[in-house]
Amino acid sequence: MRDLVLLLIGLFLAVGCTQKQQTDGLKDAYKDDFYIGAAVNTSQYSGRDARALPILKEHFNSITPENDLKWENIHPERDTYNFEEADKFVEFGVQNEMFIVGHTLVWHSQTPDWVFEDEEGNPISREELLARMKDHIYTVVGRYRGKIDGWDVVNEAVNDDGTIRESPWYNIIGKDYIAKAFQFAHEADPEAELYYNDYNLHLPDKADAAAEWVKEVQDSGVRVTGIGMQGHYGLDYPTKEALERSINLFGELGIVAITELDIDVLPSPFQYTGADISRRAELRDELNPYTENLPDSMVQKQTDQFKLLFEVFHKQSDVINRVTTWGVTDGDSWKNGWPMPGRTNYPLLFDREGNPKPAVEALKDIATN
């Protein structure tokens, strides 16, 4: 009888452990490694998207706003700030005890023309643009001081060949605009983590240039906490070796964050692996082959690539503090509209119905083995 009781207890505990393992999310699997984050939109953190909300709470412990903190949304006119949606985003993160990331303060894209021009449409002076940058950063970062944990301070300032992007920021202020942005952000919130964020940082020339720029800013006495590697990847890139090289390089400068992870499964209209949203192409049938569903063979290829990436991330979790996917479900992804509108893409870990793809369990296994 005693043996039977012990057997029943053992079965009960085993079932309980199995159920717990099945319900644990990605954030639980990687709790000893890094945060698991997602970029979110207004409908998701407001609760209107009924599919995304339970996924966010089960699998993610960090959030980044996809658009609501970008300059054109939060500061569309010189004397106008729109904080309503950003406030809701931050409140959602605080209520759910998430690591909150602000995206983004200084970027050449999605920044209104008025930022760089006077009333006649002429370029303003260096001094005036620095004043506008400082006012914006002080106002936005200062409002969320102590609530937003980290900021993408400067976004996409380096070209793929390693040269500096000749944006209005660079052309008007000069190369020190990067250091000034980080200086203002640190003054506005001395405790926040501050990142330089860019795509294609698995490319050696671009990675080396970004590291050089960041080190130069750090050596000048300005705080840069780390580098955000936008993970806009494909089925056959980056290689494990290229990824490890960049993470090792950036790890010498501070924190490494994987900030915008997705894996594109569709053919590209041009020989390009980046995420320059100004690039556009014409929609053709051969560029949109999976309008109904993704074939099992492609699901497996994507799963294998996610596994390759997370094996590297898990191995280098001593320097990586966050892995963030750029969206929650496939239907949310910006890749459905870039580089041409109307495509059906499948770049994320959860399908359009909110169901986890096979990659989710595969990634959990990596964390626990």
Phi, psi of 339 (to 5 degrees): -85, 10
The tens place of each residue's pLDDT in the chain, 369 residues long, gives: 555 444 444 444 444 444 344 459 999 999 999 999 999 999 999 989 989 999 999 999 999 999 999 999 999 999 999 999 999 999 999 999 999 999 999 999 999 999 999 999 999 999 999 999 999 999 999 999 999 999 999 999 999 999 999 999 999 999 999 999 999 999 999 999 999 999 999 999 999 999 999 999 999 999 999 999 999 999 999 999 999 999 999 999 999 999 999 999 999 877 666 666 677 678 788 899 999 999 999 999 999 999 999 999 999 999 999 999 999 999 999 999 878 888 999 999 999 999 999 999 999 999 998
The total of structural domains in the chain comes to 1
pLDDT of residue 268: 84
For residues 98 and 62, is the Cβ–Cβ distance under 8 A? yes
Active site residue 120: no
pLDDT of residue 281: 75
5 located within any domain: no
DSSP letter string over 151-172?
A: EEEEE--B-TTSPBP--HHHHH
State the residue for tokens 């580098």: 227
Active site residue: 66, 85, 156, 193, which one? 156
Phi, psi of 194 (to 5 degrees): -125, 125
361 located within any domain: yes
17 located within any domain: no
Crossing angle of helices 126-143 and 177-188, rounded to 10°:
30
pLDDT of residue 8: 43
- Rounded to whole angstroms, how far apart are CA atoms 312 and 232? 16
pLDDT of residue 9: 43
Active site residue: 66, 85, 193, 260, which one? 260
333 located within any domain: yes
User: Cis peptide before 168, with omega less than 30 degrees from 0?
Assistant: no
SS3 content of the chain, % helix, strand, coil (to 5): 45, 15, 40
Phi, psi of 64 (to 5 degrees): -130, 135
Task: Say which residues have a Cβ less than 8 Å from residue 252's Cβ, sequence separation at least 6.
Answer: 211
pLDDT of residue 339: 80
- Rounded to whole angstroms, how far apart are CA atoms 170 and 178? 9
Active site residue 77: no
**Domain range spanning residue 87?**
24-368
Q: pTM above 0.85?
A: yes
- What SS3 state is found at 136? helix
How far from 364 is each of 33, 112, 356, CA to CA, in Å?
12, 42, 12
Which of 276, 267, 263, 95 minimizes the C-alpha distance to 199? 276
- What SS3 state is found at 15? helix
- Rounded to whole angstroms, how far apart are CA atoms 219 and 216? 5
pLDDT of residue 20: 40
11 located within any domain: no
- Rounded to whole angstroms, how far apart are CA atoms 273 and 297? 22
Amino acid at 24: D
Residues present in the chain in total:
369
CATH number at residue 356: 3.20.20.80
12 located within any domain: no
